[in-house]
Amino acid sequence: MVSKNYKAIIALMLFLIFNFQIVSDQQASELPHLLKQGTATQLIVDGKPFLMLGGELGNSSASDMEYLRPYWKNFKAMNLNTLLVPIYWELVEPVEGEYDFTLVDSVIIAARNNDIRLVLLWFGTWKNSMSCYAPYWVKTDQQRFPRARTKEGKAIEILSPFHDESRDADTRAFAALMKHIRSVDGQAHTVIMIQVENEIGMIPDARDYSESANIAFKKQVPPELMKYLQQNRDSLIPEFRQMWQRTNFKSSGTWEEVFGQGLHTDEIFMAWYFALYTNEVARAGKDVYPLPMYVNAALIRPNYKPGQYPSAGPLPHLMDVWRAAAPQIDFLAPDIYFRSFVEWCEKYDRSGNPLFIPEVGNNQSPANAFYAIAKHNAMGYSPFSIESLDHPESNPLSMAYDILNQLEPLILVNQGKETMMGVLLDSTHHKKQINLGDYRFSVRHEYSWAYAQKTEGETPRVGGMIIMLAPDEFLIAGSGIIVTFETQVNDGSIAGIASINEGHFINGNWIPGRRMNGDQSHQGRHLHLPGRTYGIQRVKLYSFK
């Protein structure tokens, strides 16, 4: 009898353990996570790929929910599905070890009420190089939390990454934050991704000259980094490889022996230590709640040298160093405030790094989003200080996001395959050829057409995307472009337009609108998406001889 009960209890325990395991595995797989599809990496939310049509709040706007309250309706009107929101260490842990998550909770609830997902930005040890978000008890205890120093030995308001106390304090706070998010959001997944720190960088020198930093600088390059570099020597980011090549790929020695003397070596050294520190913060957070985590970078102005720009951050030429030191960080992301949008997308979409643009100047053309999402499989796009955009119901971003929202299911199916392309045109790039399936598309800026309506001033940036629906059927979406068609088959055949319809999608179903013929297709010669608005047209092609 006893043994029967005993067996039953064991069986029950095994059943419970097993089922608990299944539930935990299910829950874990349902957490937002990254997944590859062809050449793309997508963010999976609640079991489905998700395209972040985002906006980032201005730095101080999430410190007062009353201040933020009126803007939520604007975010909806702008067709945002994701908001990037800072979380401030100084307000989360005003007293050491005492956490206050009131703001975190309020923003999660408000986001849920508005059906908007969140990417939370951990303003911890570093914010735009500085340590201005460190709590008062950190700022005022320089023994425990030492500062970085300039070459002249002057302390600066940047916590030095060479000190475990600072790293551990940040790590504890971040882990507490992640634990809290898990407890309040582990089921709903309103929070879908985390940015660890913000625009880490060293300025006005390329490296920290504090005593601990100087000691580390004289040491050997850590074997972990050497091993990574040797193993990946042929696939390193070319700019980085060139720097190392100067010493003929020396495989051991001090930093200056391996990479040579110069500011570039100061920066590589510093990047390694910034990345190690950040990796520990991310690891502690992922240990309790493993959401995807990334770091963002302030980019480099042309001809600036290390030390003149925030150096050693997650910049493209340092991608390998960051990757070797910080495997807990899923990817590096650019904050693009320069006009050279295409160049920075290309630099970040390398070496398997997925593209996400957490910040872009909010005065930039939303045509950028079409290009990044279609050409570079971007997971998302997010203008900065989104709350300050005027006319939320009718500004260009709202129009662009409306179209991208409609196209989202199709975009997500086509990312990472050879069936979708993006294009961006401006005053210097008027024309682009795109090959897709059997056809060649020549995409021109509408200003190159004599009959286009032009506005005074600078030629605006325009662009869009082409999605292949069938071998002879394509969706073309965007603004300010003119598209002509050729066959790619070299048999003398000519591509003709069978039909063009403008239209829109409702819940993934195509609702055709006007048949675009006559003047609207230049009597069958081209497809035109007029500027100053965003639209979708569906074209069916055929060929004749």
Residue ranges in contact with ligand DGJ by CB under 6 A: 59, 128, 198-199, 335, 359, 384
Burial (0-12, 13-18, 19+ Cβ within 10 Å), 178: buried
3-state secondary structure of 294: strand
In the complex, least distance from residue 202 CB atom to ligand DGJ, rounded to whole angstroms: 16
Residue placing its CB nearer to ligand DGJ in the complex, 128 or 364: 128
Q: Which amino acid is at 482?
A: I
Q: What's the closest the beta carbon of residue 358 comes to ligand DGJ, in angstroms?
A: 8
Helix (H) or strand (E) holding 68: helix 65-68
Shortest Å, Cβ 140 to ligand DGJ: 24
Residues near 528 by beta carbon (within 8 Å), at least 6 away in sequence? 446, 449, 452, 481, 482, 483, 516, 520, 521, 522
Per residue, the 3-state secondary structure of 418-486, as one string, reads: CCEEEEEECCCCCEEEEEECCEEEEEEEHHHCCCCCCCCCCCCCEEEEEEEEECCEEEEEEECEEEEEE
Of residues 59 and 365, the one with the C-beta less far from ligand DGJ: 59
Kindly tell me which of 104 and 336 has the beta carbon lying closer to ligand DGJ: 336
Which residue number, 199 or 387, has a Cβ lying nearer to ligand DGJ?
A: 199
Residue with smallest beta-carbon separation from ligand DGJ:
199
Cβ atoms of 294 and 332 within 8 Å: the answer is: yes
- As measured in angstroms, the least distance from the Cβ of 298 to ligand DGJ is 6
Both tokens of 285, joined, read 């957070």
Closest among 449, 447, 487, 441 to 465, alpha carbons compared: 441
Q: In this complex, which beta carbon is closest to ligand DGJ, that of residue 128 or of residue 414? A: 128
| Minimum CB distance to ligand DGJ smaller for 255 or for 384 | 384
Q: What minimum distance in Å lies between the beta carbon of 206 and ligand DGJ?
A: 20
Q: What is the nearest approach in angstroms of ligand DGJ to the Cβ of residue 62?
A: 11
Residue whose CB is less far from ligand DGJ, 195 or 365: 195
Helices 341-348 and 367-375, packing angle to 10 deg? 30
Q: How far is the CB of 384 from ligand DGJ (least distance, A)?
A: 6
Residue 39 beta carbon to ligand DGJ: minimum distance, rounded to whole angstroms: 28
| Shortest separation between residue 351's beta carbon and ligand DGJ, angstroms | 23
502 DSSP assignment:
E
| Residue (92 or 539) nearer to ligand DGJ, CB | 92
Q: Which residues of 242-256 are buried (b: 16+ CB within 10 A; e: fewer)?
A: ebbeeeeeeeeeebb
* In the block, residue with structure tokens 């063009």: 500
Contact 399, 437 (CB under 8 A): no
On whether the CB atoms of residues 375 and 423 are closer than 8 A, the answer is yes
User: For ligand DGJ, which is the closer residue by CB, 258 or 336?
Assistant: 336
DSSP state of 136: H
Cβ 335 to ligand DGJ, closest distance in Å? Answer: 5
DSSP string of 172-194? HHHHHHHHHHHHHHTTT--EEEE
Q: Which is nearer to ligand DGJ, 56 or 426 (CB)?
A: 56
44, HSE (Cβ side, Cα atoms, 13 Å) = 14
